[in-house]
């Protein structure tokens, strides 16, 4: 029985094409002068014990680079892309990211490719002083949702009566010195004892030492 020479020839042809393609790709990647846009993780360094950002900081930066094909391929595939660090010495006076100086820093930081420019022209930055305040809590006693002819017949207990809040100074100034806690529900006619969420503004930069407060009081019905 004769061997299937057409099948053998087809396989040999395919292998030779594959080998030629791999050789061409490897030879091409060894050359310089390729350009590519690559994103690098971006990290900021500043005195975070004294200052706090009031809007999200950019987490990455896109840079136009030129270099060897292998180097660009590794970075495009994020095989050896380390975070880029940007130092902010005067947060309250720094209103945007200086992409020119960042590009210069990247040139020293990334040795195997040439940095041409940062793709985005400008990143706005906003910082404030980080402060900690003690804020008093009080129950909104005038708007407790009681059943008709029922009244609060005891002292309203609140625990804790104060909380510690840390965050941007401007936000805490707007918050004030006292927070009013509203009792939820409707037509309360039994003694009340429950935990209520403290009504802090939805702000990821505000951090409090407590999220809930215990509220309790007695209720009585008015005589007819």
What residue ranges do the domains of the chain occupy?
32-125, 130-221
Question: How many whole angstroms separate alpha carbon 99 and alpha carbon 61?
Answer: 10
- Rounded average pLDDT over 41-65: 88
Write the CB contacts of 118 (distance below 8 Å, at least 6 apart in sequence): 61, 62, 63, 64, 99, 100, 102, 103, 106
- Give me the pLDDT at residue 62, please: 82
Q: What is the pLDDT of residues 85-139, one digit of tens each?
A: 888 999 999 988 887 777 776 766 666 667 777 776 568 899 999 999 999 999 9
Q: What is the pLDDT of residues 149-164, one digit of tens each?
A: 999 999 999 999 999 9
Q: Is the pLDDT of residue 214 over 90?
A: yes
Nearest to 151 by CA among 59, 97, 220, 224: 220
CA quadruple 54, 172, 143, 221: dihedral sign: positive
Q: Is the pLDDT of residue 67 over 90?
A: no
Q: How is residue 103 written in tokens?
A: 């590009």
Statement: 130-221 belongs to CATH 1.10.1760.20:
no
Q: Return the half-sphere exposure (C-beta side, CA atoms, 13 A cut-off) of residue 184.
A: 8
- Give me the pLDDT at residue 78, please: 59
Q: What DSSP letter does each residue of 155-220 carry, written as one string?
A: --EEESSEEEEEEEHHHHHHH-SEEEEPPPSSSB-S-EEEEEE----S-TT-EES-SEEEEEE-EE
- Rounded average pLDDT over 39-59: 90
Taking each helix axis from N to C terminus, what angle separates 5-29 and 69-76, rounded to the nearest 10 degrees? 90
* The model's pTM: 0.69
- Give me the pLDDT at residue 28, please: 46
Q: Is the pLDDT of residue 181 over 60?
A: yes
Backbone angles phi, psi at 106, to 5 degrees: -65, -35
Question: How many whole angstroms separate alpha carbon 92 and alpha carbon 57?
Answer: 14
- Give me the pLDDT at residue 118, please: 79
Question: How many whole angstroms separate alpha carbon 19 and alpha carbon 3?
Answer: 25
Sorting pLDDT into bands at 50, 70 and 90, what band is 216? very high
């Amino acid at each position: 029985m004769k061997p299937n020479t057409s099948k053998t020839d087809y396989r040999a042809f395919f292998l030779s094409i594959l080998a030629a393609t791999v050789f061409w790709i490897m030879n091409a990647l060894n050359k310089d002068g390729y350009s590519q846009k690559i994103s690098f993780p971006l990290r900021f360094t500043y005195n975070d014990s004294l200052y706090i950002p009031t809007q999200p900081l950019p987490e990455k930066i896109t840079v136009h680079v030129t270099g060897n094909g292998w180097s660009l391929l590794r970075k495009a595939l994020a095989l050896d892309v380390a975070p880029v660090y940007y130092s902010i010495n005067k947060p309250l006076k720094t209103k945007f990211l200086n992409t020119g100086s960042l590009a210069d820093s990247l040139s020293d930081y990334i040795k195997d490719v040439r940095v041409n420019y940062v793709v985005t022209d400008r990143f706005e930055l906003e910082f404030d002083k980080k402060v900690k305040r003690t804020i008093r809590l009080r129950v909104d006693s005038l708007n407790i949702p009681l059943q008709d002819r029922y009244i609060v017949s005891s002292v309203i207990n609140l625990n804790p009566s104060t909380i510690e809040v840390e965050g941007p100074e401007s936000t805490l100034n707007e918050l004030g010195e006292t927070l009013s806690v509203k009792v939820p529900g409707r037509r309360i006619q039994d003694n009340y004892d429950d935990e209520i969420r403290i009504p802090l503004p939805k702000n990821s930069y505000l951090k409090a030492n407590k999220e809930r407060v215990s509220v309790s009081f007695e209720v009585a019905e008015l005589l007819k």
